[in-house]
Structure 1
C-alpha cells in the first residue's frame, strides 16, 4: 500500500539520530504486525 522500503525508513530514522539496520525494522514489522492482528482478531468475530 505504501511505497517505502525498509532501507528508506532506515535512512529517515538515521536523519533523526536513530541508527537501526533495515533488517531490524523488518523484524519489528513482523513481530508487531502479528501482535496487532492477534489483538484485533480477539475483538472482531465474523
Structure 2
C-alpha cells in the first residue's frame, strides 16, 4: 500500500479523490483474492 500511497499522494489532488482512488485499489485487490483469478485463497 505504501507504493500506491507514494504514487497518489505527491500529486496535487483533493483528499476525497485520493481516498476514492485508494479505495478502488483496495477493492481491486480484494476482488483478485476472493475471486477466481488467484487460486491461493482456496489454500487457506
TM-score range, shorter chain: 0.5 to 0.7
- Is 1:26 the equivalent of 2:26? no
Q: Which runs of 4+ in 1 moved over 3 A?
A: none
Gaps of 5+ in 2: 1-7
Q: Residues 1-46 of structure 1: CA distance to partner in whole angstroms, max 9, x if unpaired?
A: xxxxxxxx85xx1xxxx21111111101111111111001232124
Q: Using CA pairs below 8 Å that are at least 6 residues apart, which structure has the higher relative contact order?
A: 1
Unaligned runs of 5+ in 1: 1-8
Count residues in correspondence.
Answer: 32
